[in-house]
């Protein structure tokens, strides 16, 4: 455009001729005009008249020149104004452009490292705050949400519309206003809990002693040895059923134990120190017990190492069909006799007045782990030392769960441990109110959420988000016929499943009904001077709420995330995608943003969750949420080939010298890639209907390019090396930078829009595509 901006000659010449003006040749004869009789008029004028006439002509020429210049200038102004109308100069556009630019590092080649190109400026301007191991756009937005909730929850109780909201306020006050009480009580609350669960029953056989202690701990909803809960039957989503799965490690993942030395490994040393320090604090700081306590805790770590070796790694747990094993309690007892299963289940279910028989069916997700656990316990209980170690292991998990709720000395011990495992500095921690807001959101999140959505979710945000989801669904379905690897029958079934996906946006409606919201929390008692016991009561409440669903059909449209949460999820057993109000905000979504940014950020999130219904796990569930084969075998084989390509691709990426785990993160990587494609195609459809958007000022990128920039900038973040390691070994998601680099390097459209040469890092010759 700039090359044509001043090229006006041809246009002006044509305009002059069309208006009857003379050619240059005709203009040369102007002074030679003749009158009647053939006498030259000029010669009949006096000298004065001739001078005046010359001056008049000169003046006219000057006026004509000025007029011509003014005319040209007027055309120039009109042209520039026309051009400027194609640039969005509203305050919102200027601010958005400024934010995009300040987050970028334009010295980086986008075809070599798009993450640094998109986020380099943001990372420089946002160092990881003290007290954190990771900082990104999610955390930045969460802090804003925290402030909103703080202002709401600190208003007088009289202004709150429900008892549940007042309970949330009381819980918050128990956290923030009663530190003097917490300090005065010290270790007493936890000692009281331990006295309740540790009972002298030496007259019982060792197996029964362990069983009794295990049941007491699980009644506190604390996971030890294994995990139990009630949920939908994967193969019959209209029914709830008991589930059992592996669990019971003190550290986040099995890799922290395997082939490590307790005396040399940084994390194990920090874990041991934390265990010992907390035990000594419970013993009122009796230093004479340090050596004995250290030996006891070393034995606990060694026992957990046995469990770690038995634990099936997450990368081997991707196929739900292979994990699913349904057995009766009688069958379980025969195969895994380390505890009395019928007694165990009835003890737990007794709190909600439900009983089971040996014919009750249970879904086991980890029979190989439970089998190994059976052998470990059988060997451990053969002598008194082994029995003592198992008891110490179980008691430690109670201590570990509740110690952070005690006085400052206990919290400081936890923070020193966290510094070692996550790399965060313990200095400059978050303000107490932020910790308490997060805590309140986890305990009474829907009550707090009712206040949050009334304050933040206004206008047509939910409806606009719904429209965007439907556009992305349509784009996903339109793309299916282009996938030559999928047979026609499976394609039609996939379209049917996409049509059946339930959209849940913002918040559950019942939270705005005071009566219904109060009923949700009616059995949860909160005392504003009992922070510790509020948490104990909440754990028991949550356990009871889960167990009582055993004889009830699964609840439709139930929410697992609170309204203020900055996240989204897909539930395969219900075929639902959920987007809490917390994420329907900038930088993910804003009604005033250009559509390119909304589709690139929030649209990709929506496409991501939709694609989860068709990733390596989601595709195993049909449109009703039932685990069953519904694909043609040939399409399954071809799907797996493409999935393997993605597994290999992401496994080749490294951070801090450590390879990513492509198999462990496969489902999320498939969702990222599929979500990006569906969201972009949906945006193109929007352009076809509404026309191109005016470009943003100064940024120099088209809106299609901005779509990819918005996607990348959602993931702007930094992490400590320890936090990255933790993420690699535990998370089903790839780290932020890998999510950007991996997803965009598979996109031909991205490579074309940014003119990336074939073979460049962002445009490799080999690309992986599933959806």
- Other beta carbons within 10 Å of 4: 7
Q: Say if residues 365 and 561 touch (Cβ distance below 8 Å).
A: no
Residue 21: burial class (beta carbons within 10 Å; 0-12, 13-18, 19+): exposed
Q: Which of 84, 114, 134 is the last residue of a domain?
A: 84
What averages of pLDDT result for each successive group of 10 residues across the chain (771 residues)? 33 32 33 36 48 52 42 36 65 92 96 97 93 92 95 91 95 87 93 90 86 96 96 95 96 94 94 96 87 96 97 91 95 94 97 97 94 95 94 97 94 90 71 93 97 84 88 96 94 96 94 96 95 97 97 92 96 95 92 94 97 95 95 95 96 94 96 97 96 93 97 96 93 96 97 96 96 96
In which domain, by residue range, is 17 found?
9-84
Catalytic residue chosen out of the listed positions 419, 576, 616, 672: 672
Long-range contacts of residues 72-80, Cβ cutoff 8 Å, at least 24 apart: 72/8, 72/12, 75/8, 79/5
CATH of the domain at 622: 3.40.390.10
Q: Taking each helix axis from N to C terminus, what angle separates 290-310 and 367-380, rounded to the nearest 10 degrees?
A: 140
Q: Is 672 considered catalytic here?
A: yes
Q: Say if residues 655 and 724 touch (Cβ distance below 8 Å).
A: yes
State how far the alpha carbon of 152 is from the alpha carbons of 149, 236, 394, 633, in Å.
5, 42, 40, 55
pLDDT at position 461 = 75
One domain for residues 321 and 468: no
One domain for residues 347 and 472: no
Q: Is residue 133 part of a domain?
A: no
Q: Is 609 considered catalytic here?
A: yes
Query: What is the rounded (10 degree) CA torsion for 440, 443, 445, 447?
Result: -90
Name 230's Cβ contacts closer than 8 Å, sequence gap at least 6: 240, 241, 242, 243, 546, 547, 549, 550
One domain for residues 612 and 724: yes
pLDDT at position 29 = 25
Per-residue model confidence as pLDDT tens digits over 720-757: 999 999 999 999 999 999 999 999 999 999 999 999 99
pLDDT at position 55 = 54
The pTM of this model reads 0.84
The angle at the Cα of 280, spanning 276 to 281, to the nearest 5 degrees, equals 115
Residue 48: burial class (beta carbons within 10 Å; 0-12, 13-18, 19+): exposed
One domain for residues 683 and 745: yes
pLDDT at position 49 = 54
pLDDT at position 67 = 44
One domain for residues 651 and 730: yes
How far is residue 429's CA from residue 714's CA, in Å, rounded to a whole number?
A: 25
Q: Is residue 475 part of a domain?
A: yes
Q: Is residue 31 part of a domain?
A: yes
One domain for residues 369 and 473: no
How far is residue 381's CA from residue 393's CA, in Å, rounded to a whole number?
A: 13
Catalytic residue chosen out of the listed positions 528, 530, 609, 620: 609
Per-residue model confidence as pLDDT tens digits over 478-511: 999 999 999 999 999 999 999 999 999 999 999 9
Q: Is residue 442 part of a domain?
A: no
Q: Say if residues 356 and 346 touch (Cβ distance below 8 Å).
A: yes
Helix residue ranges, H only, 2-104: 9-18, 24-27, 47-84, 91-103
Q: Is residue 696 part of a domain?
A: yes
Nearest 5°: phi and psi at 135? Answer: -145, 130
Structure tokens that stand for 743 in this block? 């997803």
How is 664-682 classified by DSSP, letter by letter? TTHHHHHHHHHHHHHHHHH
The count of structural domains within the chain is 3
Structure tokens that stand for 171 in this block? 């819980």
């Amino acid at each position: 455009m700039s090359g044509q901006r001043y090229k006006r000659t041809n246009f002006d010449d044509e305009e002059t001729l069309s208006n009857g003006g003379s050619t240059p040749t005709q203009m040369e004869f102007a002074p030679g005009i003749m009158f009647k009789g053939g006498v030259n008029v000029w010669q009949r004028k006096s000298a004065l008249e001739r001078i005046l006439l010359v001056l008049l002509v000169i003046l006219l020429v000057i006026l004509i020149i000025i007029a011509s210049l003014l005319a040209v200038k007027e055309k120039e102004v009109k042209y520039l104004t026309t051009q400027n109308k194609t640039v969005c100069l509203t305050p919102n556009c200027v601010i958005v452009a400024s934010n995009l630019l300040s987050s970028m590092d334009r010295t980086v080649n986008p075809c070599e490292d798009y993450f640094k190109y998109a986020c380099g400026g943001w990372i420089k301007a946002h160092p990881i705050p003290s007290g954190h191991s990771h900082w990104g756009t999610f955390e930045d937005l969460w802090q804003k949400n925290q402030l909103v909730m703080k202002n709401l929850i600190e208003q007088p109780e009289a202004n709150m519309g429900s008892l549940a909201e007042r309970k949330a306020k009381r819980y918050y006050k128990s956290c923030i206003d009663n530190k003097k009480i917490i300090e005065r009580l010290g270790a007493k609350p936890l000692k009281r809990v331990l006295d309740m669960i540790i009972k002298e029953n030496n007259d019982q056989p060792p197996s029964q002693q362990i069983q009794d202690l295990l049941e007491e701990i699980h009644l506190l909803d604390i996971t030890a040895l294994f995990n139990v809960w009630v949920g939908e039957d994967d193969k019959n989503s209209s029914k709830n059923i008991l589930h059992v799965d592996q669990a019971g490690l003190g550290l986040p993942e099995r890799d922290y134990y395997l082939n490590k030395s307790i005396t040399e490994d940084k994390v194990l040393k920090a874990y041991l120190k934390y265990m010992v320090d907390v035990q000594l604090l419970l013993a009122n700081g009796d230093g004479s017990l340090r050596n004995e306590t250290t030996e006891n805790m070393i034995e606990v770590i060694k026992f957990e190492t046995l469990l770690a070796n038995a634990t099936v790694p997450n990368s081997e747990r991707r196929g739900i069909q292979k994990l699913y094993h349904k057995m009766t309690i009688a069958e379980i007892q025969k195969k895994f006799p380390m505890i009395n299963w019928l007694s165990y289940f009835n003890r737990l279910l007794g709190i909600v007045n439900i009983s089971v028989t040996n014919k009750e069916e249970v879904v086991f997700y980890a029979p190989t782990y439970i089998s190994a656990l059976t052998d470990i316990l059988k060997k451990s209980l053969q002598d008194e030392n082994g029995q003592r170690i198992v008891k110490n292991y179980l008691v430690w998990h109670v201590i570990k769960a509740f110690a952070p709720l005690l006085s400052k000395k206990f919290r400081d011990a936890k923070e020193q441990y966290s510094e070692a495992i996550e790399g965060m500095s313990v200095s400059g921690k978050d303000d107490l109110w932020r910790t308490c807001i997060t805590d309140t959101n986890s305990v009474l999140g829907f009550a707090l959420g009712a206040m949050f959505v009334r304050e933040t979710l206004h206008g047509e945000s939910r409806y606009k988000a719904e429209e965007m989801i439907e556009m992305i669904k349509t784009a996903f379905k339109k793309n299916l016929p282009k996938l030559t690897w999928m047979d026609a029958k499976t394609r039609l079934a996939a379209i049917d499943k996409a049509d059946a996906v339930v959209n849940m946006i913002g918040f559950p409606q019942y939270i705005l009904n005071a009566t219904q919201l109060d009923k949700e929390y009616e059995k949860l008692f909160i005392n504003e001077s009992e922070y510790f016991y509020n948490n104990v009561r909440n754990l028991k409440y949550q356990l009871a709420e889960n167990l009582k669903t055993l004889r009830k059909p699964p609840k439709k449209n139930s929410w697992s995330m609170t309204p203020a949460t900055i996240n989204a999820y897909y539930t395969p057993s219900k075929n639902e995608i959920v987007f809490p109000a917390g994420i329907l905000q900038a930088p993910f979504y804003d009604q005033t943003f250009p559509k390119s940014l909304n589709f690139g950020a929030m649209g990709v999130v929506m496409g991501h969750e939709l694609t989860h219904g068709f990733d390596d796990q989601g595709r195993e569930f049909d449109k009703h949420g039932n685990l069953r084969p519904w694909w043609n075998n040939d399409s399954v084989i071809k799907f797996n080939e493409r999935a393997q390509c993605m597994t290999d691709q992401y496994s080749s990426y490294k951070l801090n010298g450590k390879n990513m785990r492509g198999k462990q993160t496969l489902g999320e990587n498939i969702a990222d890639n599929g979500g990006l494609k569906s969201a972009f195609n949906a945006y193109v459809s929007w352009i076809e209907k509404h026309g191109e958007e005016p470009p943003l000022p100064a940024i120099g990128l088209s809106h299609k390019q901005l779509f990819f920039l918005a996607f990348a900038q959602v993931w702007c973040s930094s992490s400590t090396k320890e936090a990255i390691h933790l993420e690699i070994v535990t998370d089903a998601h790839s780290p932020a930078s890998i999510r950007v680099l991996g997803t965009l390097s598979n996109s031909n459209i991205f490579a074309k829009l940014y003119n990336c040469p074939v073979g460049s890092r962002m445009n490799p010759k080999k690309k992986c595509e599933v959806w």
